Each structure stands twice: as structure tokens, then as C-alpha cells.
Amino acid sequence: MTAPEPAVRVRIDLAYDGAPFSGWARQPGLPTVQGSLEEALAVLVRRDVRVVVAGRTDTGVHARGQVVHLDLAPEEWRGLARGREEDPGASLGRRLTGALAHVLGGGRRAQGLPECPGAIVVHRAGAAPAGFDARFSAVSRRYSYRIDDGAGGRDPLTRHLTWWTKDVLDAGVMAEAVQELVGLHDFLSFCRPREGATTVRKVLDVSVERDRNGLVVLGIEADAFCHHMVRSVVGAAARVGAGREDGDWLGRRLAERVRDARVLMAPPHGLVLEQVRYPGDTALGERAQRTRALRDPVHRD
């Protein structure tokens, strides 16, 4: 008897504007990025589909470099191609774009929601290498956060993507202060803890600088992030930049391992998931196994 063909694991790279959605994760009765993507996929595959995401994002948070995976039966994968010579991945990317246009247009209108065509963009889709897991194979995630303190003049066209603060910020002081966060630490002071889950994370890189438009941009890369970690770090760094706390405050807060009202979260709309990094193809499976053993499911920010 011939053994059945294994399922095809599919990787999809996408970007989205988080403003029209109640976060990434599917929630009954609420418009979400996951719900919209899975609704579009169901149109193509003709069954309910569930995707696994590299990093869940909260309401209002955006992504330029999000990654998901899903598993399809071999016949479903081959059936995505419209022509004998067409690559199923290329076909999936093209057809998913069309299905999303319907879901984000007429589909939302039918639910009494504002249409948001183009709010989810598929960059590429294709069969994933053996062992790939969008969540557990990742070695790091990189976020950016933009703050407008008026130094370059307020730009009303970017108000939905930047945190407008009345404080004048010293980006240089902030850049020095956040270096205390680099390395392996318990980030309990900057996270919303969840029962049974660790708040230990490894920050690989963090920076603060002004861009050419005068915005203060904080960038941070870590192996993973606790719930609300980046927004709490931004809020704390902004207090230092405004002169409300001294330059050593972030390091002291980190060592205290106590979450309290002294660390306030920055609003979500300035936060963007920029990139998810993975090891080489031969190390994907090993990385996924090691991550599962070390940590409960990776939390979102």
C-alpha cells in the first residue's frame, strides 16, 4: 500500500495596517487580521483554515514583516495553480490578494464595518523548508516605534503612525539609557505577566535615534517579547528622554522586577513589527524543538 503524501507546509509573508482591526488574534464578533486572512484563505481552499503566526500583535499595532504558516493537503496545494506550469505559491499569493480585497471591501461592508482595501498585503507565499514553524523557528523579532515630539514640525499625515507627545525628548540620553536592556534579563518590570509563562527574554539590539524627519525612532530586536514589553520600554525611555527620570532608571527598573504604575505603556499605533528572522533551512527544525522546550508559546506585544 502506498503511503499517503505528507501535508505541505506553506509560508506566507505579509504586512498590515493594524488600525482597522482588533489586533491579530481571531476574536468572536470582532474584525481581526487573523480572521480576515483565514476568511480569504477559506475562499481559496474551500474549508476552514487556521494559520500560525510568528508574533501576535495587539489592537492598533502594525506589521511590515509578519510571517505565518499553514498546512495544506498535497491535492489542495497543487489545486491552487490555475495552469500546469504555474507555481502554486505564486498562484496563492496572487489569488489571496484578490480574496483579501473582497473580505476587506464588501465583506466588511456587509458587517457594518468601514471598508479597508489594501490594509493587508501579501508579499510572498510558497512551500516552506522542512521543519519550518513560523513561531518556534524564529530566532528574533524586530520592532520599531516612532515618536513625534514636534522637533521636525507636526505632520498630520503621519499622526496615525506616530505617538504625538508634548514632551521635548533628548534622543541621545534615551539611546544611552536603553543599552541597559541588552542581554538576557527578566523583563517582569516591562511586561504584563501571564500565569505559568516566563518573562525572561534576550534583547539582541536596541537603539534610539532621530530620523531625517525629526521623529524619535526606537528600534529593538529580541529572541521574543512578553505581552506589552515594547510599548512599556518605549514609555519608560520617553520618561528618561523628557528628563522625568535619570539615565540609570531603566536599568534600575529592570533589576527591581516589579511592574507598577511608574512604567506607562506608549500607545499602540506607533509600533510596527518590522522583521522576523530565521536560521538557515537546515536548522529550522532544531530551532523549533529547542524553543518549544524552553518557553511556552511566544507572546505578543
Residue 12 in this model has a pLDDT that exceeds 80 = yes
Residue 248 in this model has a pLDDT that exceeds 80 = yes
Residue 84 in this model has a pLDDT that exceeds 80 = no
Average pLDDT in the 6-24 region? 97
Average pLDDT in the 47-54 region? 97
Q: By percentage, how much of the chain surpasses pLDDT 90?
A: 84
Average pLDDT in the 277-286 region? 92
Q: How does the average pLDDT of the chain come out, rounded?
A: 93
CA nearest 171: which of 216, 119, 223, 139? 216
Report CA-CA distances (Å) from 277 to 13, 67, 111, 281: 12, 10, 36, 12
Q: What are phi and psi of 177, to 5 degrees?
A: -65, -40
DSSP state of 36: H
Record the cell numbers describing residue 141, joined without a space.
Answer: 523579532
Q: What are phi and psi of 169, to 5 degrees?
A: -105, 140
**pLDDT tens digits, one per residue of 63-80:** 999 999 999 999 999 999
pLDDT confidence band for 298 (50 / 70 / 90): very low
pLDDT confidence band for 262 (50 / 70 / 90): confident
Residue 259: predicted pLDDT: 81
**pLDDT tens digits, one per residue of 16-36:** 999 999 999 999 999 999 999
Kindly list the catalytic residues. 58
**pLDDT tens digits, one per residue of 224-246:** 999 999 999 999 999 999 999 99
Residue 3 in this model has a pLDDT that exceeds 80 = no
Give me the DSSP letters along 198-233: --EEEEEEEEEEE-TTS-EEEEEEES---TTHHHHH
DSSP state of 106: I
Q: Rounded to 5, what percent of the chain is helix, strand, coil?
A: 30, 25, 45
Distance of CA 248 to the CA centre of its chain: 29
Average pLDDT in the 84-88 region? 81
CA nearest 63: which of 72, 52, 71, 53? 53
**pLDDT tens digits, one per residue of 177-214:** 999 999 999 999 999 878 778 899 999 999 999 999 99
Residue 87: predicted pLDDT: 93
CB 221 within 8 A of CB 141: yes
Record the cell numbers describing residue 64, joined without a space.
Answer: 511590515
**Domains of the chain, with CATH numbers?**
8-127 (3.30.70.580), 140-277 (3.30.70.660)
Distance of CA 39 to the CA centre of its chain: 20
